[in-house]
Structure 1
Amino acid sequence: MTAPDPYATPAPTTDQAAHADSSRSSLLRAAIWVAIGALIAAAIVCVLWVLLGTRDANDIVGRAFLTILLLAGFAGVAILDAHLAPSRPAWFALASMASWVIALLLGAIMIWMPERFPWLGFSRFIQFLLIVLILQLVLLHVRFYLKAFQRYDTPFTRTVTIVTIALVIALAVLLIIPLAFGEWLALAGVYWRIVVAIAILAALGTALVPLVNVLFAPKKPRPQVAHAPIAAPAAPAASTVPAAQELLPWPTYVDAVTPLPMLPDGSPDWNAYYTGHPSPGAHVFTAIAPAAHVEPQAAPAPPQAIAPAQPAPAVGYEGYPPPPPLPPRP
């Protein structure tokens, strides 16, 4: 009987499963509506920038093409998130959709925002990719960090987790602002000092919870492997044969009782079968005879003269050689 796994998730009841499915579907619908609203808002912002802007036709066409690519990419990502939502936690599916909405709005603003320097057009694309990377790294950090927190939930770890997640989100915001609007912002040196300080505190909080888990969290029991008992070999070379394979009887001498000797490589000594003497280095086994029933001995008969035994002529059968002699008896 094995001990129950303390980390195993208890099977939900029918009512709990139905409630979870309904809440998940409602969150999924909400995330899809948020994506639709973000698409509409981004399109309206771009249209207003086109109508009220002072750009020439060639510049508008290029930016419109980038906007269409941005909207199509967001639609594809939103559909992918909707398909992956059933296999994810509800909060993670909603947070993932929110991160893509933020990326969509920032991308639309960066496309239609006036350029302070004409040669910085391609750099905005690189900055947008960095913004998407930061948002996704924040999501992965929060997901794995919450898994580590759930292993050992205490007031201390709960406080550290909340503060660390807030610091990570603040760090992401402080890094995204110069990437999206740094062209038009003059950030002082104290801004970057604050960014570095928050990054150090966020790294400290990220390392605290795993260290506390290593020291105090209950260990997951390792599965014990049952070892099969080792049985003594009943016959020579039986240990090298799989248990599922049928064992063949060990060959014997002509008397069908005395087993043949075994060579050092584990094979029968067939030479002893024909010569009656074991080969050098062969292991000799004793005869295995069934226990005979002991009967009361009768009175001994008077001695009689016994004629000397005459050796039987070695005659074969239909031209075959005669059987070999019996092995030497002790």
Structure 2
Amino acid sequence: MTAPEPYAPAPQPAADDGPTSLVRAAIWVAIGALIAAALVCVVWVLIGGQNGIVGRAFLTILLLVGFAGATILDAHLAPRRPAWFALASMGVWIATLLIGAVMIWLPERYSWGGFSRFVQFLFIVLILQLVLLHVRLYLKAFQRYDTTFTRAVAIVTIILVVALAALLIVPLMLGEYLWFPDIYWRVTVAVAILAAVGTAIIPLVNVLFAPKKPRAAAPYPTPYAVAPVAPQLAAPSAPVADPASVAAPQELLPWPTYVDGATPLPMLPDGSPDWGAYYTGYPTPGAHVFGAPEPTAPQTDAAHPASSGYEGFPPPPPLPPRP
């Protein structure tokens, strides 16, 4: 027998699943967008006016820090998410960064424009995140019943939802400098109605045609185990070679005994306790008696015969047969 090598190489731990190549590419794109936004903001600082430059620079720093934190969080959550959702989330944060940089450094036309732009930017972030959540839940519902019809409805609905988000973001972003005619808002409402209809179709189709998951019926517990001997008198079983391969035994109720609490009741041929012997003291013909000799006649009290009870109640059961 050879001794183990004292300096044998230890087994290397399994490598942690890192982000996929697409997610890595998205992270590099996010880094490039961060650098580009920072350079654009620096150029505006150097060549722009002096009106509110300190406040805008502070907001720009907050925007860049928030974008970096969101990107790091997405990178940590990427292994737990589908690849398309990680890419979409990264793209949403890049669009948020660019929109925020433009809104911060765009010249103001009104004295109260700073606070108004901040509120509008929060609405833009909310719209983008709601669109991302909508697409995630909508595709989950679509995967339950994938057909040609539902696939076409899902593609058209996602396009309409993205278009609706763009139609809502543009006025919030450039509302100070652009005038939007009445037809623009009519188209926005029409797209919203179509997107709502497409969103409702997939869940309705799932309710009608999607296969349902079968429900497992709960097993009915048996009160006593059918065994050739009582549990108290059974011999211990041999040890199992592989305990992991044997299912856990069902928890059994204790075998009933006589009134003395020690002598087990006889067992009927069907495996159930002989409750008649509990009240009469005699085992039922054919019942299996555990260690009991020939039964004797039940003892009765002279003052209280066995046929009489107390105020109409049956008499107490006799003691089990004794040797």
Determine the structure 2 residue equivalent to 1:279.
Answer: 310
CA distance in structure 2 between the aligned counterparts of 1:86 and 1:273, rounded to whole angstroms? 81
* TM-score of the pair, normalised by structure 2: 0.69
Q: Shift of residue 282 of structure 1?
A: 2.3
Query: In the alignment, is residue 37 of structure 1 matched against residue 68 of structure 2?
Result: no
Determine the structure 1 residue equivalent to 2:135.
Answer: 142
What secondary structure does 1:118 align onto? coil
What secondary structure does 1:202 align onto? helix
CA distance in structure 2 between the aligned counterparts of 1:274 and 1:145, rounded to whole angstroms? 84
Query: In the alignment, is residue 72 of structure 1 matched against residue 65 of structure 2?
Result: yes
Q: Residue by residue, what CA displacement relative to the aligned partner does 1:201-255 show, whole Å, maximum 9, x if unpaired?
A: 00000000110111111111112111124669xxxxxxxxx94456453249xxx
With over 3 angstroms needed to count, the CA separation of the structure-2 counterparts of 1:244 and 1:229, relative to structure 1, is closer
For residues 41-52 of structure 1, the aligned pairs below 5 Å read 41-52=36-47
CA distance in structure 2 between the aligned counterparts of 1:251 and 1:260, rounded to whole angstroms? 13
Q: Which residue identity does 1:283 align to in structure 2?
A: P
CA distance in structure 2 between the aligned counterparts of 1:209 and 1:162, rounded to whole angstroms? 11
Q: Shift of residue 195 of structure 1?
A: 0.4
CA distance in structure 2 between the aligned counterparts of 1:287 and 1:274, rounded to whole angstroms? 14
Contact 1:151 1:213 in 2 (8 A): yes
CA distance in structure 1 between the aligned counterparts of 2:143 and 2:315, rounded to whole angstroms? 67
Determine the structure 1 residue equivalent to 2:295.
Answer: none
CA distance in structure 2 between the aligned counterparts of 1:273 and 1:124, rounded to whole angstroms? 100
* TM-score of the pair, normalised by structure 1: 0.68
How many correspondences in the alignment? 245
Q: Residue by residue, what CA displacement relative to the aligned partner does 1:29-69 show, whole Å, maximum 9, x if unpaired?
A: 1121011011111101111111221224xx11111011001
Determine the structure 2 residue equivalent to 1:165.
Answer: 158
CA distance in structure 2 between the aligned counterparts of 1:91 and 1:285, rounded to whole angstroms? 76
With over 3 angstroms needed to count, the CA separation of the structure-2 counterparts of 1:33 and 1:274, relative to structure 1, is farther
Contact 1:131 1:179 in 2 (8 A): yes
What secondary structure does 2:20 align onto? helix
Contact 1:258 1:285 in 2 (8 A): no
Would you identify which runs of 4 or more consecutive aligned residues in structure 1 move more than 2 Å? 228-232, 242-249, 257-261, 272-278, 281-290
- Runs of 5+ unmatched residues, structure 2: 1-14, 226-250, 262-275, 281-299
Q: Shift of residue 153 of structure 1?
A: 0.7
What secondary structure does 2:87 align onto? helix
Query: In the alignment, is residue 99 of structure 1 matched against residue 127 of structure 2?
Result: no
- Runs of 5+ unmatched residues, structure 1: 1-17, 233-241, 262-271, 291-330
Q: Which residue identity does 2:33 align to in structure 1?
A: A
Q: Residue by residue, what CA displacement relative to the aligned partner does 1:235-280 show, whole Å, maximum 9, x if unpaired?
A: xxxxxxx94456453249xxxx98679xxxxxxxxxx979534322
